[in-house]
Chain A
Amino acid sequence: MKDFAALLDGLSFAPSPAIRIRLMADYLERAPDPDRGWALAVLTGGLDTARIRPAALRALAAERVDGELLRLSLDFVGDPVETAALIWPEGGASPCPPALAEAVPALAGSPRQAAAGLLAGWFDRSDPAVRLALGQLAAGRRPPGVTPRLARTALANAFRADLTAIEEIWHGQAPPYGPLFAWLEGRAPRPETLAGLRPLMPVRPLQEADAASLDLPQYRAERQWPGLRVQVVAEAGRQRLYSGSGDDISFLFPDIVAAMEELKGVFDGVLAVAQGLDGPPYRPAPPEALERRLGRKTVPRRLPAEVPAFVRLFDMLFDGGEDIRAMPFHERRTRLEARVAGRPRFDLSPLLALEGPAEPDACLSVILKRADAPYRPDGPPWLLRKAAPRTVRALLLATRPARVGEAGASYSVALLRDGAPVAVGDAPCRLSGEERERLGRWIRAHTAGRYGPVRAVEPALVLEVSFDEVRPAPRRKSGLALERPEIVRILWDLPPEAADSLGRLTADEPSLLERRNAE
Chain B
Amino acid sequence: MADALEDWLRPTPAGLWCEPGGFHIDPQRAVPRALVTHGHADHARPGHGAVMATPETLAIMALRYPRDRPARQPLRYGETVQAGSVSVRLAPAGHVLGSAQAVLEYRGRRVVVSGDYKRAPDPTCAAFEPVRSDVFITEATFGLPVFRLPDDLEETRRLLRSVETFPDRCHVVGVYSLGKCQRMLGLLRRAGYDRPVRLHRTLNEMTALYRRFGAELGETRPLDGAGDLAGEIAMQPPGPEQRMDRFAEPVRVFASGWMQIRAHARRRGVELPLAISDHADWTALTATIADTGASEIRVTHGPPEALIRWAQGRGLDARPLEPPEGNGG
Contact of B309 among A14, A66, A87 (CB under 8 A): A66
Most buried by A among B145, B162, B272: B145
B146 in contact with A76 (CB, 8 Å): yes
CB distance from A69 to the nearest CB of B (A): 5
| A interface residues, tally (CB under 8 Å) | 28
Contact of A87 among B145, B265, B305 (CB under 8 A): B145
Chain A positions within 8 Å of B270 at CB level = 13
Q: Knowing A69-B310, A83-B146, A127-B150 touch, does A77 contact B261 (C-beta < 8 A)?
A: yes
The distance in angstroms between the C-alpha atoms of A69 and B147, with both chains bound, is 12
The secondary-structure label for the interface of chain A is helix
Within 269-297 of B, Cβ neighbours of A (below 8 Å) are at 270-273
Judge whether B313 is part of the interface by a CB distance below 8 angstroms. yes
Q: Knowing A12-B262, A14-B271, A86-B260 touch, does A76 contact B144 (C-beta < 8 A)?
A: yes
Q: Which residue of A lies closest to B166 (CB)?
A: A22
Contact of A86 among B148, B271, B272, B273 (CB under 8 A): B148
* Range for the number of chain B residues in contact with chain A: 20 to 34
Chain A positions within 8 Å of B261 at CB level = 76-77, 82
The distance in angstroms between the C-alpha atoms of A153 and B202, with both chains bound, is 42
Judge whether A364 is part of the interface by a CB distance below 8 angstroms. no
Judge whether B63 is part of the interface by a CB distance below 8 angstroms. no
Q: Which residue of A lies closest to B265 (CB)?
A: A13
The distance in angstroms between the C-alpha atoms of A83 and B263, with both chains bound, is 12
B265 in contact with A23 (CB, 8 Å): no
Chain B positions within 8 Å of A19 at CB level = 166, 271
Chain A positions within 8 Å of B265 at CB level = 13
CB distance from A40 to the nearest CB of B (A): 18
Chain A positions within 8 Å of B313 at CB level = 66
Chain B positions within 8 Å of A79 at CB level = 262-263
A73 in contact with B146 (CB, 8 Å): yes
Judge whether A90 is part of the interface by a CB distance below 8 angstroms. yes
Q: Which residue of B lies closest to A12 (CB)?
A: B262
Chain A positions within 8 Å of B271 at CB level = 13-15, 19
Judge whether B242 is part of the interface by a CB distance below 8 angstroms. no
The distance in angstroms between the C-alpha atoms of A19 and B249, with both chains bound, is 10
Contact of A129 among B144, B150, B306 (CB under 8 A): B150
The distance in angstroms between the C-alpha atoms of A79 and B165, with both chains bound, is 29
CB distance from A397 to the nearest CB of B (A): 29
The distance in angstroms between the C-alpha atoms of A69 and B313, with both chains bound, is 11
Within 76-93 of B, Cβ neighbours of A (below 8 Å) are at none
The distance in angstroms between the C-alpha atoms of A66 and B271, with both chains bound, is 33
Chain B positions within 8 Å of A77 at CB level = 146, 261, 263
Judge whether B201 is part of the interface by a CB distance below 8 angstroms. no
Judge whether B266 is part of the interface by a CB distance below 8 angstroms. yes
The distance in angstroms between the C-alpha atoms of A258 and B74, with both chains bound, is 87
A26 in contact with B165 (CB, 8 Å): yes
Judge whether B158 is part of the interface by a CB distance below 8 angstroms. yes
The distance in angstroms between the C-alpha atoms of A346 and B265, with both chains bound, is 50
Within 285-329 of B, Cβ neighbours of A (below 8 Å) are at 303, 305-306, 309-310, 313
The distance in angstroms between the C-alpha atoms of A14 and B249, with both chains bound, is 12
Chain B positions within 8 Å of A114 at CB level = none
Q: Mark B146-188, 1 if CB is under 8 A from A, else 0.
A: 1110100000001000100110000000000000000000000
The 7 A-B residue pairs whose C-beta atoms are closest, nearest first, are A86-B146, A73-B146, A72-B306, A13-B271, A87-B145, A26-B165, A73-B144
Question: 10 other contacts beyond A69-B306, A77-B263, with CB at 8 A cut-off?
Answer: A10-B272, A13-B265, A13-B266, A66-B310, A68-B309, A72-B305, A72-B309, A77-B261, A82-B261, A82-B262
